[in-house]
Amino acid sequence: MLTLHRISLDTSTIYQPALGAPRTLSKEKFYSKCDLHEEWVKSDSQCGQQLSIFYTVLPGIDISSRNLMGARLELCDLRFSNFTKTNISNAWIYGTDIGGATFNNTEALGTEFISSHCEQAKFVSANLRAACFIYAKLDNALFYKSDLSKSDFERSELYSAEFRANDISGATLTPAFGLNYDLVTESIIDLKTKLPNGFIGTDNMGKRFRVINGAIKYE
């Protein structure tokens, strides 16, 4: 069940003075575009139309249980939206505000969240393998029991972001800003996981490790 939020569009993070006011789109029109995209995916791009939304305000929308593989959402306001059980693998989500959004059991294999606002977003039991969060803002975000293997958080903001019981083997979490050592717990790691120098943590087996000169060393 979605929690309703009072959203001020005047403070939207997507606002670009050079582009003027963001576009608006009715839910009905958006869902119609989603239907066409699902047809496009199912037909291997022979029918329907790829979903491509640019500089549009659609906060709090329910996008659950959809197949939006390869969709393009650029500079959109999707705060507090619901992506539960939706497939957004290989989607391009650039500069988009998904703060407070819910990604429960979401398929996001190889999805690019570059420069997006993901503050307070919740990724629970999500497949984020090889996802890209470069330059994303993830303050107070939650990653729980998700596959983050080979994902890239380079130069993202991770202040108070919580990583709990995830697979971060081969993931890149450095250089990033604000990563709290105490909030990366019980996670699967391997020798290819990139964490900040000096990082001290405990993996999913309870083994303590330290990062020295970029290498993970078990104590």
d(CA 197, CA 169): 17
Question: Which amino acid belongs to residue 153?
Answer: F
Q: What is the pLDDT of residue 17?
A: 87
The domain ranges of the chain are 20-186
Q: What is the pLDDT of residue 128?
A: 98
Q: Residue 126 in contact with residue 113, Cβ under 8 Å?
A: no
**CA-based angle 174:165:91, to the nearest 5?**
60
- Is the pTM of the predicted complex or chain greater than 0.85? yes
Q: What is the pLDDT of residue 43?
A: 98
User: What does pLDDT average to in each consecutive run of 10 residues of the chain (219 residues)?
Assistant: 43 82 94 98 98 95 98 97 98 97 98 97 98 97 98 97 96 94 92 93 92 92
The residues that bridge with 24 in the sheet, in sequence order, are 57
Domain topology for 20-186: Pectate Lyase C-like (2.160.20)
